[in-house]
Amino acid sequence: MNKNFINKKTSINVSGNLLDLSLPRVMGILNITNDSFYDGGKYNTDEKISQRAEQILSEGAAIIDVGAYSSRPGAINISEEEELSKLKNALSIIRKKFPEAIISVDTFRSSIAEYVVKEFDVSIINDISAGELDDKMFDVVAKLNVAYILMHMQGTPKNMQSNPQYDDLIKDIIKYFSAKIDKLNLLGVKDVIIDPGFGFGKTLDNNYELMQKLDAFKILQLPILVGISRKSMIYKYLDTKPAEALTGTIVLNTIALLNDANILRVHDVKEAVETIKIVEKIQVKV
């Protein structure tokens, strides 16, 4: 596909400022969960949260994505109160030390989205359920006028990997996104990022087909986020572990960039930033 054929949106409004996505950006993951598949329980003190935020920014990420609810397959549900309590603590630490940082919060709960935007100037809501798990989310995002990451997931974190089925993987997901985007547009939500949802209600083969055909999503004319960092599509295929999945992550991030990804959501920020630099160098016309 000719990369110039479709005029895709390449900037988003973050707290009144435009974030340019014509050059791909890195979103660094800060999980404050107890049971995430790779780093659950790792950032369980104020000092470790502060150090992780500093690492993410110093290594070149444009966005810190903070999550307090584990969305790994079979994840245990935690209460809204527990999720909010964890987020309040982490966001207080980050805002105090890095007042200008662009922060995204990974939540599907509209009440939490509203609180963190109002109290901590969170710029982006990253919703794995695309409003499916909270029917108030679209209205709240519209009212808050924040950027919104719209992710595709078949099922819920608890059952999404039971037996995912598609008639036509790419067409089904594009149709899903199109309907959601129409609803958001009607509500006046202007800054939407799409995330195809690698590992969320997809088989291993589904995930690789999704990566192979990622540029098909340019038809939606919106920025594309890819989150494959150390996921099972890498370590299960290679028969290793998440801790050994950095090489596979770099390879897939490279392919994603060549297929027009705008944001890489990663655990390993330095490596992702370097990947972007090299891919951009190759794509520059001499």
- pLDDT tens-digit map of 61-89: 999 999 998 776 666 678 899 999 999 99
Residue at 156 is within a domain: yes
User: What is the band of 50 on the pLDDT scale with cuts at 50, 70, 90?
Assistant: very high
Residue 207 in any domain: the answer is yes
pLDDT at position 1: 38
Report, as an integer, the average pLDDT of 269-286.
90
Q: What is the pLDDT of residue 176?
A: 96
pTM, two decimal places: 0.92
Assess if residue 240 is contained within a domain.
Answer: yes
> Residues 219-255: pLDDT tens digits?
999 999 999 999 999 999 999 999 999 999 999 999 9
Mean pLDDT of the chain: 91
Q: What is the DSSP letter of 168?
A: S
Distance CA 199, CA 232 (A): 7
The verdict on residue 4 lying in a domain is no
Residue 84 domain boundaries: 11-278
Mean pLDDT of the region 181-192: 97
Evaluate whether residue 131 is within a structural domain: yes
Average pLDDT over residues 174-199: 97
Residue 256 is predicted with a pLDDT of 98
Are residues 62 and 20 in contact, defined by beta-carbon separation less than 8 angstroms? Answer: no
Query: Given this model, what pLDDT does residue 163 score?
Result: 76
| Whole-angstrom distance, CA of residue 261 vs CA of residue 211 | 10
Q: What is the CATH number of the domain that holds 40?
A: 3.20.20.20
Is 136 an annotated catalytic residue? no
Q: State pLDDT tens for residues 88-128.
A: 999 999 999 999 999 999 999 999 999 999 999 999 999 99
Give pLDDT, residue 2.
Answer: 43
Token pair recorded at residue 160: 């999404």
pLDDT at 6: 61
Mean pLDDT is lowest, of 23-37, 82-96, 149-163, 206-220, for 149-163
Residue 1 lies in a domain: no
Mean pLDDT of 255-269: 97
The catalytically annotated residue of 231, 236, 270, 277 is: 231
Q: To 5 degrees, how large is the angle CA 162–CA 256–CA 18?
A: 110
Active site residue 236: no
Residue 134 lies in a domain: yes
Please report which confidence band the pLDDT of residue 265 belongs to, taking 50, 70 and 90 as the band edges.
very high
Give me the catalytic one of 265, 277, 281, 285: 265
pLDDT of residue 214: 98
For residue 242, CA distances in Å to 71, 93, 159 come to 15, 28, 21
Contact (Cβ atoms closer than 8 angstroms) between residue 229 and residue 267: yes
> Is position 159 within any domain?
yes
Q: What contacts 24+ positions apart, CB below 8 Å, involve 172-179? A: 173/197, 173/210, 173/217, 174/216, 174/217, 174/219, 174/220, 176/130, 176/152, 177/150, 177/152, 177/217, 177/220, 178/220
Domain count, the chain: 1
